[in-house]
């Protein structure tokens, strides 16, 4: 039977052959599929790994194919372009990356971006209009808060937030107030929150939305940078889109995975404003994804050992490590929404900025730098660094205090890290 493409005069694009997704009835894991999914060596001279396609544009097989591809690019036909067109829209490296990214959360589709913030900005531009209200959890990564409150605010968008640990009833209350202010077009979450590690109950957010909205529901998007993709799969708890800053655990730039219905309009917006990943970065990310499970597993094991050391240390006030949650609402959310405790945590030292800085300045193995999820251990002071721009009262209310040090554990030897932290605490 002739398909639609051949009826329109466009020959179908040469696609990678369908790869093996199960063996002997066993569905293969994402960690296995990272080594080959979405790439067919036969399309690239037999190269085992995908080459980097450093080209700005792609040749059409005929004019009808070009037209058909542009129908996809411009959103005239949903689902994006079937063929490769121009590197602001798509490319082989980006497509393989997106195919592989979607596997970790069993998502319908994925889009990759040039950075976490370009993914988040593209999301807001896609779903939010002047007069709309964004409901979000707090705290958020500081640049996301700035984007909502200071930048979108200038374009007539308002927002209401609820604290990360809010109950279903409290979330309902905030959604109700937001509905009275205007059209609620997006519910935006971050869990665990940067930098406090507080968890959001995604199931409670989805239940509150179901109670208060009918018809076209406002999408729920969640920044899953801290635990994704190994230790949290928020799409299973009711989120529509899961966002990663891939400079973190995955090791590259950024991506959004989720339902096609929401990613199609985001793809059109990305095609217009050009926030796609470049081919070289996409290629680097493909390499990183091959070792993602290994790196995250080792980092998680290391963090458990390091946190056990910090837990009873006389100079430490509290360790905000998810693995220590045993009772209360946060522990309940942890059990329902998370598959692991992660390797990024908040450490509250006894004292204030002086003690936090003395600790940071003495570290020898851990690097004094912002970011998280790398192979190397990093430590920073959020109140003085990543969250400096957050107003003081909001910082206090959210627990972003001067004695807070955020630590992201890497894949070094755990006992070496403990020796480093021990020496740094002696200097406090």
Residues that bind ligand PLP (CB under 6 A): 115-117, 141, 190, 194, 223, 225, 245, 247, 254, 371
Residue with smaller CB distance to ligand PLP, 94 or 225: 225
Residue with smaller CB distance to ligand PLP, 11 or 371: 371
* Smallest distance, ligand PLP to C-beta of residue 118, A: 7
* Smallest distance, ligand PLP to C-beta of residue 146, A: 11
* Smallest distance, ligand PLP to C-beta of residue 386, A: 7
* Smallest distance, ligand PLP to C-beta of residue 223, A: 5
* Smallest distance, ligand PLP to C-beta of residue 343, A: 14
Backbone angles phi, psi at 53, to 5 degrees: -95, 85
User: In this structure, are residues 191 and 200 in contact, taking their beta carbons and an 8 Å threshold?
Assistant: yes
* Smallest distance, ligand PLP to C-beta of residue 350, A: 26
Residue with smaller CB distance to ligand PLP, 116 or 279: 116
Which residue is at the shortest CB distance from ligand PLP? 116
Residue with smaller CB distance to ligand PLP, 117 or 217: 117
Residue with smaller CB distance to ligand PLP, 212 or 385: 385
* Smallest distance, ligand PLP to C-beta of residue 136, A: 13
Instruction: Please give the full DSSP string across 295-363, using - where no structure is assigned.
Output: HHHHHHHHHHHHHHHHHT-TTEEEEE-GGG--SSHHHHHHHHHBSS--SEEEEEESS-HHHHHHHHHH-
Residue with smaller CB distance to ligand PLP, 225 or 268: 225
Residue with smaller CB distance to ligand PLP, 232 or 414: 232
CA 124/CA 380 separation, integer angstroms: 28
User: In this structure, are residues 197 and 322 in contact, taking their beta carbons and an 8 Å threshold?
Assistant: yes
* Smallest distance, ligand PLP to C-beta of residue 112, A: 11
Q: How far is CA 156 from CA 110, 137, 160, 255, 420, in A?
A: 29, 20, 14, 27, 49
Residue with smaller CB distance to ligand PLP, 81 or 122: 122
User: In this structure, are residues 88 and 276 in contact, taking their beta carbons and an 8 Å threshold?
Assistant: yes
CA 214/CA 220 separation, integer angstroms: 14
User: In this structure, are residues 85 and 69 in contact, taking their beta carbons and an 8 Å threshold?
Assistant: yes
Residue with smaller CB distance to ligand PLP, 358 or 369: 369
User: In this structure, are residues 153 and 189 in contact, taking their beta carbons and an 8 Å threshold?
Assistant: no
* Smallest distance, ligand PLP to C-beta of residue 242, A: 12
Residue with smaller CB distance to ligand PLP, 87 or 194: 194
* Smallest distance, ligand PLP to C-beta of residue 371, A: 6
CA 278/CA 139 separation, integer angstroms: 30
| Token pair for 131 | 């007069």
Other residues' Cβ atoms within 10 Å of the Cβ of residue 198: 24
The beta-strand segments (E) located in 25-84 are 26-27
With the C-alpha atoms ordered 139, 329, 296, 19, is the resulting torsion angle positive or negative? negative
CA 411/CA 249 separation, integer angstroms: 11
CA 160/CA 103 separation, integer angstroms: 33
């Amino acid at each position: 039977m002739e398909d639609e493409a051949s009826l329109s005069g466009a020959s179908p694009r040469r696609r990678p052959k369908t790869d093996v997704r199960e063996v002997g009835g066993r569905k293969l894991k994402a960690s296995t599929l990272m080594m080959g999914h979405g790439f067919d060596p036969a399309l690239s001279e037999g190269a085992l790994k995908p080459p980097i396609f450093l080209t700005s544009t792609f040749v059409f097989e005929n004019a009808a194919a070009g037209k058909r591809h542009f129908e996809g690019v411009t959103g005239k036909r949903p689902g994006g372009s079937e063929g490769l067109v121009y590197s602001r829209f798509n490319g082989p490296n980006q497509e393989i990356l997106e195919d592989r990214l979607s596997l970790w959360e069993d998502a319908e589709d994925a889009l990759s971006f040039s950075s976490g913030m370009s993914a988040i900005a593209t999301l807001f531009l896609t779903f939010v209009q002047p007069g709309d209200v964004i409901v979000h959890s707090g705290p958020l990564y500081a640049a996301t808060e700035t984007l909502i409150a200071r930048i979108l605010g200038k374009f007539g968008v308002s927002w209401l937030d609820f604290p990360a640990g809010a109950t279903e009833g409290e979330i309902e209350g905030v959604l109700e107030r937001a509905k009275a202010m205007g059209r609620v077009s997006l519910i935006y979450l971050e869990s665990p929150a940067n930098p406090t590690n507080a968890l959001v109950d995604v199931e409670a957010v989805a239940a509150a939305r179901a109670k208060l909205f009918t018809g076209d529901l406002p999408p729920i998007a969640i920044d899953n940078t801290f635990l994704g993709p190994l230790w949290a799969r928020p799409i299973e708890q009711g989120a529509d889109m899961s966002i990663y800053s891939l400079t973190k655990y995955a090791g590259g730039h950024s991506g959004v995975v989720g339902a096609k219905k929401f990613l199609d309009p985001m793809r059109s917006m990305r095609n217009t404003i050009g926030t796609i990943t470049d081919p070289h970065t996409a290629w680097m990310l493909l390499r990183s994804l091959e070792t993602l499970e290994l790196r995250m597993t080792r980092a998680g094991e290391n963090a458990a050992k390091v946190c056990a050391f910090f837990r009873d240390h006389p100079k430490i006030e509290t360790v905000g490590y998810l693995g220590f949650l045993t009772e209360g609402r946060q522990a309940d959310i942890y059990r329902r929404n998370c598959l692991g405790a992660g390797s990024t945590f908040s450490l509250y030292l006894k004292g204030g900025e002086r003690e936090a800085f003395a600790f940071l300045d003495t570290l020898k193995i851990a690097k004094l730098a912002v970011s998280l999820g790398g192979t190397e251990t990093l430590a920073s002071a959020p109140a003085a660094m990543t969250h400096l721009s957050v107003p003081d009262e909001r910082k206090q209310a959210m627990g972003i205090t001067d004695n807070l040090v955020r630590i992201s554990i890497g894949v070094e030897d755990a006992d070496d890290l403990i020796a480093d932290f021990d020496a740094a605490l002696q200097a406090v």
